[in-house]
Amino acid sequence: MNFSDNHVWLKEENGNVLNPYKLLPPVFENWTEDEIINTLSEVEGIADGGAALTTYSKMQYTDMTQAEIDELSKALFKYCELDTLAMVMVYEHFKELVYA
């Protein structure tokens, strides 16, 4: 079975399911090196809860450009989408166990 046919976030390579958090794109993917050097957040990627919390906190208390805030917001939404999917999958698994 190819997981990527049924789930957007699940990818398979050589018969192994890849960690979807490692597939998240870098925060400033399309920015130039000069633009990245001038960011205040110092965030490269958001692939765990600690990074997400830190990023959100920095957005609240740092004077960032709107462009940087927008990129960080997009990255947080992608991370949260993946976390929400994981929670739904756990719920569906438990539901299957209970009602099977």
At 6-65, the pLDDT tens digits run: 456 678 899 998 999 999 999 999 999 999 999 999 999 999 999 999 999 999 988 999
Phi and psi at residue 39, in whole multiples of 5°?
A: -75, 155
E strand or H helix at 82:
helix 66-99
CB 18 within 8 A of CB 12: yes
Q: What is the pTM of this model?
A: 0.81
Cα 13 from chain centroid (whole Å): 20
- DSSP letter (8 states) at residue 26: P
Phi and psi at residue 43, in whole multiples of 5°?
A: -100, 130
